[in-house]
Amino acid sequence: MATFNLRRFSKPEMLRRIDRKHLIAFLEPHAAYFSARGVELPPVQHEDGLDYNALSHILLTPDGSTPDDLAEALFYVNEVSTPEGFDSIQDEIAGTDIDVEIGENAAPADLAIQVWMADREIIEKVHAEQFFMNVRSFEYFKTKKNPLPDFVLPSEETLAALEADLDEWFSKKRRGKYSKVFVYPKEGHTWFLVRHGKPYAREAVIEAGESTSQYFRPEKFDVLAYNPVIGEIRMNAETKGEKELYRKKFGFHLFGNEEFFNERSRFDLEPLRQIGEDALLCDDVDGIEYVRLKEVQVFWGGAHKDVEIRRSEDIFASLRDRGASLPGGGKIIKASFQIKFEGSKTPRSVILSSGNRAQFKRDGDAEIIERWLGLRGFIVGAGGVSDE
């Protein structure tokens, strides 16, 4: 689990925004713990008797006696008690019995607590999906299979078998063995979030005035997305071992072949030199207002492995003003673009390497960006300049 931090349960007035009977029902399984720390939970049917100030203090000061399942429940409920989480939870429970049972006056934390008690996996899924919005650096792998086999969403049995294989590897690598794979079909791609543990961490803490240590296993989310049109999977993971694990095991459990994704996709930055500013055209891509080139890195090699970096607010505009051009020699190994998306107040950066790595500000930008990259010839094999 990630570091325990109850920001939204930090004040008594926040607790009072949760329906009293739901809050007590949520905490009641741990009544003995609260009693030992000086707070007696009243029966649900009583109208008073809940000391919100004392309860808030306990939640803000977890110690070695805090039950693990209480800490985990508080962590997840806290994380999704946001406006975005509120809407995502409602999307997940729409049309279910849970939705019918929850009143229309439920506040975000109140909704999260009720859904957790009814089906904790819904809250875990909503929490996992929030990681789509983080900065992601992707590596791309593709298959040589032609024609591409049909792709079907994995069944529960397939996911269980995949998780078992992942658990075996994570356990051997001292990361724990309880992985979970979440599946999200969206916008022509199928996204996978893999939740797993990291190596144990030690945190120095103060208990009863004495210095001591707490050990815990941090939580990690890795992101993968499969494009069924071109047979390509992109992934964000921390280590080479994890990436190789996903390449093989997703290939095996989705297509019956560990070497299904046996080729690295490749980006080519030569269109910047071949067609210049026209490589940034985006009128044919819905969702993009403009693209600017902010930085290029040119590898000259030689005895000292020289790399030349050019940086500007708008490189092509600067070159145009000076009657200059990009260097005619060397290899362009990296480029940073500024892309203004429709509906966005500010542009976002995209960093592309000449190998198989790309970094986006938001995972949700990927489909639009990849469409633009393919049309401009930056993706080898996708048509455009690089294939001429």
| pLDDT of res. 189 | 87
| Residue range 241-247: mean pLDDT, rounded | 96
| Residue range 118-139: mean pLDDT, rounded | 79
The overall average pLDDT reported for the chain is: 86
Statement: residue 142 has pLDDT above 80: yes
| Residue range 45-66: mean pLDDT, rounded | 78
| pLDDT of res. 2 | 43
| Residue range 284-295: mean pLDDT, rounded | 95
Distances in Å between the Cα of 301 and the Cα atoms of 68, 220, 352 are 54, 37, 20
**Of 284, 307, 303, 292, nearest to 354 (Cα)?**
307
Q: What's the token pair of residue 74?
A: 């508080």
Write the CB contacts of 317 (distance below 8 Å, at least 6 apart in sequence).
Answer: 292
Q: Each residue of 3-31: pLDDT tens digit?
A: 445 555 656 667 777 888 888 999 999 99
Contacts from 107-111 at CB under 8 Å and sequence distance 24+? 107/17, 107/18, 108/80, 108/81, 108/82, 108/83, 109/8, 109/9, 109/14, 109/17, 109/18, 109/77, 109/78, 109/81, 110/17, 110/18, 110/19, 110/22, 111/86
Polymer length in residues for the chain: 388
Residue position matching structure tokens 């809250």:
123
Lowest mean pLDDT among 73-77, 247-251, 312-316, 368-372: 73-77
Alpha helices of the chain — where are they, by DSSP H?
A: 12-15, 20-27, 31-36, 52-60, 68-80, 83-93, 97-101, 108-118, 120-129, 156-172, 240-255, 271-274, 315-322, 366-376
Q: Is the pTM of this model over 0.85?
A: no
Confidence of residue 47 (pLDDT cuts 50, 70, 90): low
Given a contact cutoff of 8 angstroms between Cβ atoms, the answer to whether 232 and 206 are in contact is no
| pLDDT of res. 224 | 92
| Residue range 127-138: mean pLDDT, rounded | 69
Q: Each residue of 72-121: pLDDT tens digit?
A: 888 888 888 888 889 889 999 998 999 888 888 888 888 999 999 999 99
Write the CB contacts of 207 (distance below 8 Å, at least 6 apart in sequence).
Answer: 63, 64
| pLDDT of res. 3 | 43
SS3 of residue 104 by DSSP: coil
Confidence of residue 344 (pLDDT cuts 50, 70, 90): confident
Rg of the chain (C-alpha set): 25
Statement: residue 388 has pLDDT above 50: no
| pLDDT of res. 64 | 73
Q: Convert 203-215 into a string of H (helix), E (strand) and C (coil).
A: EEEEECCEEEEEE
| pLDDT of res. 210 | 72
Confidence of residue 141 (pLDDT cuts 50, 70, 90): very high
188 versus 37: which is more confidently predicted?
Answer: 37
Q: Each residue of 196-234: pLDDT tens digit?
A: 988 877 777 666 677 766 667 788 889 899 999 889 999
Question: How large a percentage of the chain has pLDDT more than 90?
Answer: 49
Q: Each residue of 144-198: pLDDT tens digit?
A: 999 999 999 999 999 999 999 999 999 999 898 889 999 988 877 899 989 898 8
**Of 134, 128, 117, 384, nearest to 236 (Cα)?**
134
